[in-house]
Amino acid sequence: MYGARNSLFIGLFAVLIASVLGLVAGLSAGFSRGWWDSVLMRFGDIQLAFPFILLAITILGVISDRNSVHLILVIGIPTWIIYARVVRSRVMVERDKDYILGAKAIGASDMRLMGKYILPSLWTAVLVIAMLDFGFVILLEATLSFLGFGLTPPTPSWGTILAEGKRNILIAPWLAVLPGLAIMATVLAINLTADGIADVLDPKLKISIFRRLPQRELANGSLKDPEGKDARSIQPEPTDPNDNVEPPLLKVRDLSVEFPLEDKVVKAVRHVSFDVYRGRTLGIVGESGSGKSVTASSIIQLIEPPGRVTGGEILFEGQDLTRISNNDMSQLRGTKIGMIYQNPTSSLNPVLSIGSQMVETIRIHLKSSPAEARDIASRALLKVGIGNPHAILSKYPFQLSGGMNQRVMIALAMLTQPDLLIADEPSSALDVTTQAVVLERLRDITREHQTSLILITHDFALVAEFADEILVMYAGQVCESGPIRSVIDEVKHPYTKALLQSVPRAEIESGTRLQTIPGELPDPAALPPGCPFADRCVSVMDICRLVNPSQVRVGSHHNVACHLWSSNKNEEKIRWHIS
Amino acid sequence: MAHLLEVRDLKKHFASHSGFFAGSEKNTVRAVDGVSFTVDQGETLGLVGESGSGKSTLVRTLLYLDLPTSGEVYFDGQLLTKKETVWLRRRAQIVFQDPYTSLPPRMRVWEIIAEPLLIHHLADRHSVSERVSQLLEDVGLQTMIADKYPHQLSGGMRQRVGIAKALSVQPALVVADESVSALDASVQSQILNLFKDLQERHNLTYIFVSHDLGVVKYMSHRIAVMYLGEIVELATTEELYAHPLSPYTRALLSAVPSIHRDGRERIRLEGDPPDPANPPSGCKFHPRCAIAHKLCSQEAPQLKEWLPGRYVACHFALDSNHTARGGEVSGV
C-alpha cells in the first residue's frame, strides 16, 4: 500500500515538474525563435546526448539519505526536453497561422498571444506526453530502486519491494510478482488513458469523419430522398432526332453516387444524365458540393471510398464503365480517357524528372525505344507551348511554375491521344494570365486531335469561353444543360440566372449593385424533399418544396429542371391542388 | 485635406536563408520594392496582382504586422513606428482570406469578437455581450451563433465573424486581404455587398486586395495594379478598365475570361512571372512585354503621373495608345 503511494507520488510530481518546465521552455523558445531558442535547444541536445540513467545513479549515489524529493528532482527535471521539443514545434506551426496574425492585428500582446491563443492548442500534446512520461517515470523509479539507488530503506516503493523480492527469490518467489504486476498494470493503464484523453480533448476530432471527404465532393446527404422516382422521373433523351446522327462518345444516364457515412448517406450525385460528343467540349459548372467532381471521378471509376455508384450507367463507346473489370478500366484510363487535375505540382511525381515521367508513359503505351520516346516527349511539350522542351525535360516538378507543370500534365495526358479528356478545375490554381494561355493550349490541342473534353470548373465565364455545351449542377443534380450560347442567352433556371448575375465581372459597369443569392448551400445532412434550390429561389412556389422537378426540354438540346417550365402532367396536377 | 493613409517608398525584403552562409545580397526577395500611394477617408483602394506580386506582403507591412525594411507609413498624418502600434490596431483592421484558418479554433464566436473590445478596454464585462450581439447583427448573423465554435459554421458565416471582429474596435480603415476568394460564388456576392453596406453605414475606408479583377472592379474607387513588388499602374476604376495605360494591365484585363467575348483578341503573355529573388533588369515586365524597347531592359521606369490622376510605371505609357509619339520617348 505504502509502496504504491510512494511510487505514484514520485511519478506524479516528477511529471508535473518536467511538464511545466518543458511547457515554459518550449513555448518561449518557439515563440521568440531568436537566440533564446537556439540556446535552449542546444542545451537540450547536449543533455539528451548525455547518458541519463548514469547521471541519475551518480547523483543519487552521492546522497546518503534519499527521500522522495530527491528522486522527484533527479527523475523529473531531465525529461523537460521531451516536452519542450514537442511544444516548440507545435508553437512554430501555430504561430504562423492566420488567426495568430489576426490576433496581432487586433493588438493582442505577446503574453496574450501565448497564453490565450497558442496555449489552448498545446494542452492535448502536453497531456499525452505527460501520461506517457508518467509511465516511463514509474518504470525509471522502479529501475533505480531495484538497483539500490531509490528511496533509502525502509521507505517502500514498488521498486524497493521488487529489489527486496529479488533478494528473497529463492525462499519466496511470489514476493517479486506482485510489485511487478502492479508496475505493469499501472503503466498499461496510464498509456491507455493517454490515448483516450487525446481523443476527447480535440474538439475537431468529432467531425473528423465528416471532414475527411474533400469539401467539394460533399453534396446532398439526406437520409430520405423522399421520392427517388420523382427526381428521376422522365428523362427526356437529350438527343434531337434532326441533327447529330453520330452517337455520343460518352453517354451518362441516371448516374447516382452515394457516400455512406457512419450515421447518414451523402447523396453526392443524383440521377445525372448527359452526353459528350466527339471533339466537343462539355463544361460542368457548380459550386462546392454540387457533385461536379464526383461525377468526373465516377466516369473514370476513381471515386474516393466509401463512395460508390448506386445507379445509372456510363456508356463509353457503348461500353458500360460501371460494369467493366478493374483491369479493363485501368487500361482505358491510360489510353482512351485522360485526366487533368487542379493541382499540377502534386499530380506529378516529385522524385522523377519531367523527362523520365514522360518517357516512362510513352514507353508503356507506345512501346518505343528510349531515344524515340524522348523525341516524342519533346515534341509533345512543344505542342503545349513550351519553347525549350529539352531544358524542361531534365527538370523536376518543384523547379517549375504551376502553369508550366499544368502544361506538362496536358502534354502527358495527350501523349496517348485519348478520345476523352477530363479536366477538373485545370486552371483554378493558376494566375489569370497563365490560365488564359494554358486553356488556349488545351483547346487547340484537343481540337487538333478531335478529343472530347469535359471541363469542370466553378467559373461560369471560363465555360462560356471554352465549352460548346454546359451542364449546371447544384446539390448533386443537373439544374440546366444545353448549348452554351443558348443557356447564357436564354437562361431558364433561377439558379443559373442568379449565378450569372451574382458574380462580379470585369466587363460589368461599375456602380451597379450585385444580385445576391440569399442563404447558403443546402446542408448535405438535411436536404429538403423538393427542389434543393427552393429555399434560395426568388420564384419559389409551393410545389417546389414538395416535389423535386424533373428535366424539361425548353429548346434544342436545352433542358431545365424547374417547376416554372414543367409540363409534366403529374406535377401540374399537384400544383393545381396546392393553388 | 490630409490623407487617411500615406505610404512612402515602402520596402519589404526577405532574406532567404541558405544555411550558415546566408546574408549575401543575392538571395534577397524584394517582395515589396518601393511602393508609394495614398488612401482617402471613405474611399476603397483596390490592390490587384497575380500571386507573387507582393500585394499581401504590402498590406501586412503597411499595418506593421510585418516590419518594413524601409519607407514610411503615415496614418492620420502620424508616422508609424515599430514601438507604438497599439493605437494603430484600434484604427486599422484586417480581414483575411481563409475563413477556415483565420479564426482561433478554440474560442467561441462571442469570445473572438469580444477579444478586441477587452484588449483595448472598449467594453467592460457587462457591456461586452450587448456589444457583441450588436456587432453580430451588424454583419447579418443571428445572435444565437455566439456560443458556437468556428468549425461549426459555414465559410460565409465565418467570414462574417471575421468582419465583425474587425469592426468591433470601430476602425477607420479595414484591409480586406483576398477576403472573398475562398467563398463559393453564391456566398461571395453576399459578402461583397455586406462590405459595401458597412462602408456606407460606418464611413469606412477600404483597401481591397484581390487577384480577381471582377471583384476589385466592383468594390473599388481607385485601383493599383502590382507586378513583382511594384505598383505598375494606379488610376480610377473607370479609367483603368476603359483605357489601361500599362502593357501589363492590358494583358491582365484581356486574360480574364468573359461571358460575352465578342471577338476580342486576347493578349497572350508568354512565359511565367519571373522569380522575385532574381528579377529581370530594368523594367521587371520587359521580357514578357509586347512593346518593350531596348531602354526597358536597361532602366527601370518610375511610377509617375502621366495624365491627371493616372500613375503609370512604363517608359511608353502613352505611346502604346498613340503610336505616333513612339520616337519621342525612346530617344531619351
Spatial distance between the Cα atoms of B51 and B32, rounded to a whole number of angstroms: 13
Question: In the predicted model, is pLDDT for residue A161 greater than 90?
Answer: no
* Lowest model confidence (mean pLDDT) among A155-164, A450-459, B93-102, B111-120: A155-164
Q: Judge: B102–A102 Cβ closer than 8 Å, yes or no.
A: yes
Q: Å from B304 to nearest chain A CA?
A: 25
- Mode of pairing for the β-strands spanning B173-177 and A477-483: unpaired
Coil, strand or helix at A268: strand
Coil, strand or helix at A67: coil
Question: In the predicted model, is pLDDT for residue A80 greater than 50?
Answer: yes
Q: Judge: A514–B86 Cβ closer than 8 Å, yes or no.
A: no
Cβ atoms of residues B68 and B74 within 8 Å? no
* Interface with B, mutate which of A288, A514, A515 (most B CBs under 10 A): A514
Chain B positions touching A466 (Cβ under 8 A) are: 257
Cβ atoms of residues A24 and A85 within 8 Å? no
* Lowest model confidence (mean pLDDT) among A286-290, A427-431, A568-572, B172-176: A568-572
Going by the DSSP 8-state scheme, the letter that residue A513 receives in this structure is P
Phi, psi of A412 (to 5 degrees): -60, -50
Spatial distance between the Cα atoms of A381 and B201, rounded to a whole number of angstroms: 55
Could you give the C-alpha distances from B35 to A5, A264, B10, B233, B277, in angstroms and in order? 68, 54, 5, 11, 17
CA A557 to chain CA mean position, Å: 37
Mean pLDDT computed over A164-176? 75
- Mode of pairing for the β-strands spanning A319-320 and A308-316: antiparallel
Q: Which residues of A93-105 are buried (b: 16+ CB within 10 A; e: fewer)?
A: ebbebbbbbbbbb
Mean pLDDT computed over B21-30? 62
Q: Judge: B93–A106 Cβ closer than 8 Å, yes or no.
A: yes
- Mode of pairing for the β-strands spanning A452-457 and A281-285: parallel
Q: Å from A120 to nearest chain B CA?
A: 7
Chain B positions touching A439 (Cβ under 8 A) are: 257
Chain A positions touching B270 (Cβ under 8 A) are: 385, 387, 437
Coil, strand or helix at B11: strand
Q: Judge: A510–B211 Cβ closer than 8 Å, yes or no.
A: no
Going by the DSSP 8-state scheme, the letter that residue B24 receives in this structure is -
State ipTM: 0.83
CA B166 to chain CA mean position, Å: 16
Q: Which residue has the cell 493541382?
A: A343
Coil, strand or helix at B251: helix
Mean pLDDT computed over A316-331? 88
Q: Judge: B103–A102 Cβ closer than 8 Å, yes or no.
A: yes
Chain A positions touching B273 (Cβ under 8 A) are: 401, 431
CB within 8 Å of A140: residues ≥ 6 apart: A53, A56, A75
| Amino acid of residue A216 | R
Of B65, B149, B260, the CB nearest to A105: B65
Spatial distance between the Cα atoms of B242 and B289, rounded to a whole number of angstroms: 20
Question: In the predicted model, is pLDDT for residue A237 greater than 70?
Answer: no
- H helix count then E strand count, chain B: 11, 12
Closest-CA residue of B relative to A495 is: B186
pTM of this structure: 0.82
Burial of A288: CB neighbours in 10 Å, binned 0-12, 13-18, 19+: buried
pLDDT in tens, A464-509: 999 999 999 999 999 999 999 999 999 999 999 998 888 888 777 7
Spatial distance between the Cα atoms of A140 and A134, rounded to a whole number of angstroms: 10
Could you give the C-alpha distances from A389 to A63, A338, A414, in angstroms and in order? 74, 22, 16
Domain architecture of chain A: domains with CATH:
2-202 (1.10.3720.10), 216-227+248-336+416-578 (3.40.50.300)
The DSSP-derived string for B120-147 is TT-S-HHHHHHHHHHHHHHTT--GGGGG
Q: Judge: A506–B213 Cβ closer than 8 Å, yes or no.
A: yes
Chain B positions touching A99 (Cβ under 8 A) are: 101-105
Question: In the predicted model, is pLDDT for residue B297 greater than 50?
Answer: yes
Question: In the predicted model, is pLDDT for residue B204 greater than 90?
Answer: yes
Cβ atoms of residues B226 and B57 within 8 Å? no
Cβ atoms of residues A27 and A114 within 8 Å? yes
**A236 backbone φψ class: left, alpha, beta (φ>0; ψ -120 to 50):** beta
Phi, psi of A37 (to 5 degrees): -60, -50
Cβ atoms of residues A110 and A31 within 8 Å? yes
Chain B positions touching A435 (Cβ under 8 A) are: 255, 257
Closest by CA to B80, choosing from B106, B61, B55, B93, is B61
Chain B positions touching A387 (Cβ under 8 A) are: 270
Chain B positions touching A440 (Cβ under 8 A) are: 266, 268
| B32: β partners | B12
| Grid cell listed for A276 | 459528350
pLDDT in tens, A364-415: 877 888 888 899 999 989 888 887 888 889 988 888 888 888 889 999 888 8
| B305: β partners | B311
* Interface with B, mutate which of A96, A99, A109, A406 (most B CBs under 10 A): A99
Q: Å from A501 to nearest chain B CA?
A: 9
Cβ atoms of residues A563 and A555 within 8 Å? no
The C-alpha R_g of chain B, in whole angstroms, comes to 21
* Lowest model confidence (mean pLDDT) among A298-307, A368-377, B79-88, B318-327: B318-327
Model confidence band, residue A245 (pLDDT cutoffs 50, 70, 90): low
Cβ atoms of residues A452 and A444 within 8 Å? no
Coil, strand or helix at B106: coil
Q: Judge: A106–B193 Cβ closer than 8 Å, yes or no.
A: no
* Interface with B, mutate which of A90, A95, A97, A106 (most B CBs under 10 A): A106
> How many beta-carbon contacts under 8 Å exist across A and B?
194
Model confidence band, residue B78 (pLDDT cutoffs 50, 70, 90): very high
| Grid cell listed for B237 | 476604376
The per-residue pLDDT for A531 is 92
Chain B positions touching A515 (Cβ under 8 A) are: 189
Going by the DSSP 8-state scheme, the letter that residue B259 receives in this structure is S
* Lowest model confidence (mean pLDDT) among A262-271, A292-301, B264-273: B264-273
Closest-CA residue of B relative to A119 is: B106
Measured between alpha carbons, how far apart are the two ends of chain A, in Å? 81
Helix (H) or strand (E) holding A359: helix A354-366
Q: Over chain B, what is the mean pLDDT? A: 87
Could you give the C-alpha distances from A373 to A12, A358, A466, A499, in angstroms and in order? 67, 8, 31, 46
| A456: β partners | A284, A424
CB within 8 Å of A527: residues ≥ 6 apart: A220, A221, A222, A225, A267, A475
**A275 backbone φψ class: left, alpha, beta (φ>0; ψ -120 to 50):** beta
Q: Judge: B257–A459 Cβ closer than 8 Å, yes or no.
A: yes
* Lowest model confidence (mean pLDDT) among A149-163, B114-128, B130-144: A149-163
Closest by CA to A283, choosing from A427, A410, A493, A437, is A427
| Grid cell listed for B6 | 500615406
Cβ atoms of residues A130 and A123 within 8 Å? no
Spatial distance between the Cα atoms of B293 and B299, rounded to a whole number of angstroms: 11
Model confidence band, residue B23 (pLDDT cutoffs 50, 70, 90): very low
Model confidence band, residue A215 (pLDDT cutoffs 50, 70, 90): very low
| Grid cell listed for A489 | 442567352
| B175: β partners | B94, B207
Q: Å from B328 to nearest chain A CA?
A: 31
Model confidence band, residue A70 (pLDDT cutoffs 50, 70, 90): confident
Spatial distance between the Cα atoms of A29 and A25, rounded to a whole number of angstroms: 6
The per-residue pLDDT for A2 is 64
* Sheet of B70-75, strands arranged across: B28-39, B5-15, B70-75, B78-79
Q: What is the dihedral of CA B251, B257, B261, B267, to 10 degrees?
A: 20
- Mode of pairing for the β-strands spanning B78-79 and A558-560: unpaired
Spatial distance between the Cα atoms of A530 and A549, rounded to a whole number of angstroms: 7
Chain A positions touching B188 (Cβ under 8 A) are: 502-503
Q: Judge: A108–B106 Cβ closer than 8 Å, yes or no.
A: no
Spatial distance between the Cα atoms of A375 and A207, rounded to a whole number of angstroms: 51
Whole-number percent of chain A with pLDDT over 70: 89
| Amino acid of residue B31 | A
3-state helix/strand/coil string of A438-502: HHHHHHHHHHHCCCEEEEEECCHHHHHHHCCEEEEEECCEEEEEEEHHHHHHCCCCHHHHHHHHH
Higher pLDDT, A434 or A283: A283
Q: Judge: B217–A437 Cβ closer than 8 Å, yes or no.
A: no
Spatial distance between the Cα atoms of B220 and B237, rounded to a whole number of angstroms: 7
Model confidence band, residue A519 (pLDDT cutoffs 50, 70, 90): confident
Q: Judge: A98–B101 Cβ closer than 8 Å, yes or no.
A: yes
Phi, psi of B296 (to 5 degrees): -65, -30
Model confidence band, residue A170 (pLDDT cutoffs 50, 70, 90): confident
Q: Judge: B255–A435 Cβ closer than 8 Å, yes or no.
A: yes
Helix (H) or strand (E) holding A85: helix A80-95
Cβ atoms of residues A344 and A429 within 8 Å? yes
Coil, strand or helix at B123: coil
